[in-house]
Structure 1
């Protein structure tokens, strides 16, 4: 009986069970795979295509006078405070955010996030855009309305937008006021620069906004300040990132906290990387003061 139990009644090459159905199923799967691969519709191919376009390097503007101007291409960088991580406002798109109409690009509306990769590219570059008929190249001033627009082409020239939060429309994780990208240039996409120190805010109103120093970016309609939430962490196609919202966070002295402080980063005039990385914050603060002392003396 033991010998009969060990005896095999058919060879390993023999077809048993629903072999034909299994074979057809495997052939169908392979055919579908090859068709998708040929058309570039595989998930891995879509991710590669997305990264190839969204991470394309972009040249930031060079400011010779130290101030920001309409038409400048900048990055919005948050230094993260004493215990936080440096992050930059980025387009938060995945393969489901793409459209082929009229050409390959991002479809609106699109989410934003704060990533830790401080690299000027299509994903992180924003253009300071006039909303009051100021000509391109004109200096941006504190309390002056402006818009922040992504680059054209793949990023579609979408505007950084926000609106009053509601039960249906708010940030996904924190449930605070949502910040996103949209194609319409309207009052919801208007922002203004405010000096980061409340005690000096009135003094600097109307003066030119210097590049590469800390400022507040306030939403004109809601008066809430742009913020990065380092306690709201999520993972996406680009790694670990943080939620971006429009919410003013005040400390015990009623001054905005570090997650409301932003630096509009430009390129180094010497052509050697980012000006932000070449200038410590202590030096940046001195440059801020020196710049406006010069402006005051010129106006006088």
Structure 2
């Protein structure tokens, strides 16, 4: 195609067509900017919603209740099976697909999940503990009860729910090919989870006991009986950088006990102003050996 060497100013060639084309491009640009539909405006809005500061619930009786806002944290541990892994406490985070986040104004469903070394509660890592019957707000969450975990999808009027389903050829985790975990917009049996006590020898004794806040627990999918796991050695390229993969799989050691990959903490807010969470005040030595008679008195009905 021959190059047009004449500009609109010399009034030769297709000068009138070029003038109209420039006017249409400028008009389209101004219209999109006014409506907030430019790519840079959509990116700023999405990041602003996902990274906005959140306030976690403060547990006065040291227990988790329905309706509490918490962070799901995989505590720091050394993984001898992997030479390269993410160290430190990893929090469960909403991870929108990078391409879809650029092309669409809203989050696409299902939305991905990852584990990132984030200690501050923001929009993408703050979950709400929900009851299936929606009438249990304020009541204590107990071991063995079905519950849901919801998160605001970048806005205050739309909530997504942590869900999983059996692995198939078309649906599995990206790196490990294990059972996928994602965020969906429907609360169903696929979004039901249960908490289990960390020590398998005391698990039956703790059934029905209140779940303490900021203590290590297991979170299992009710439908598939797979444990929520953070794979620190499998890194994903996400919208926010390199983060660890999250899947639903129970990793057992030689003693038939769950590995640290399956250990989680429901972290609440700190009533003091020196830290937004209770992570710095935890007691790892005592939380796994708490006597059974003390667990029954953790929370008052």
Query: Is the pair's TM-score, using the shorter chain for normalization, greater than 0.5?
Result: yes
User: CA, structure 1 residues 43+236, in 2 after alignment: closer, same or farther (shift >3 Å)?
Assistant: farther
Secondary structure in structure 2 of the residue aligned to 1:52? helix
Change (3 A) 1:19 1:291: farther
Q: Report what 1:49 is aligned to.
A: 45
| 2:285 is the alignment partner of 1:282 | yes
2:268 aligns with one of 266, 269, 276:
266
Is the alpha carbon distance of 1:297 and 1:110 closer, same or farther for their aligned partners in structure 2, counting shifts above 3 Å? closer
Secondary structure (helix, strand or coil) at the match of 2:204 reads helix
C-alpha deviation, 1:229, in angstroms: 1.1
Specify the SS of the correspondent of 1:253. coil
Shift of the alpha carbon at 1:160? 0.4
Structure label with greater radius of gyration? 1
Change (3 A) 1:20 1:245: farther
Higher mean C-alpha deviation, range 171-180 or range 212-221: 171-180
Residues 147 and 40 of structure 1, relative CA distance in 2, 3 Å threshold: same
1:82 alignment partner, one of 78, 83, 95: 78
> Please, which of 73, 96, 101 is the counterpart of residue 100 of structure 2?
96
Residues matched between the structures, number: 279
For residue 148 of structure 1, report the CA deviation from its aligned partner.
Answer: 0.6
- SS of the residue 1:106 aligns to: coil
User: Whose RCO is larger (CA < 8 A, sep 6+)?
Assistant: 2
Question: Does the aligned pair in 2 maintain the 1:174–1:232 contact within 8 Å?
Answer: yes
Q: 2:203 is paired with a residue of what secondary structure? A: helix
Q: CA 1:29/1:75 → structure 2, altered by over 3 Å: closer, same or farther?
A: farther
Say which structure is richer in helix.
1
Change (3 A) 1:91 1:185: same
In the TM superposition, residue 182 of structure 1 has moved relative to its aligned partner by 0.8
Query: 1:282 Cα shift?
Result: 2.5
Mapped contact 1:196–1:216 kept (Cα < 8 A): yes
Does the 8 A contact of 2:43 with 2:102 survive in 1? no
Q: Is the 8 A contact 1:210 1:291 kept in 2?
A: no
SS at match of 1:158: strand
Contact 2:162–2:183 (Cα < 8 Å) also in 1: yes
| Distance apart, 1:47 and its partner CA | 1.6
- How far apart in 2 are the matches of 1:50 and 1:127? 20
Kindly tell me: are residues 241 and 29 of structure 1, through their superposed partners in 2, closer, same or farther at Cα, counting changes over 3 Å? farther
The answer to which of 131-140 and 50-59 deviates more is: 131-140
Conservation of the 8 A alpha-carbon contact between 2:42 and 2:102:
no
**Residue matched to 1:19:** 5
Correspondence for 2:245: 243
Question: Are the equivalent residues in 1 in contact too, given 2:73–2:264 (CA < 8 A)?
Answer: yes
1:227-281 Cα shifts (integer Å, max 9, x gaps) = 1111210222212211111001111221111110000000123354211222242
Aligned-CA RMSD value: 3.1
1:178 partner SS: strand
- Give the alignment's TM-score, normalised by structure 2: 0.81
| Distance change (3 Å), C-alpha of 1:132 and 1:39 | closer
Structure 2 spans left out of the alignment, 5+ residues: 9-14, 80-86
| 267-276 or 110-119, larger mean C-alpha shift | 267-276
Asked if the contact 2:72/2:264 (under 8 Å) is kept, the reply is yes
Q: Distance between the aligned counterparts of 1:195 and 1:58, measured in 2? A: 28
Query: Aligned residue for 1:200?
Result: 202
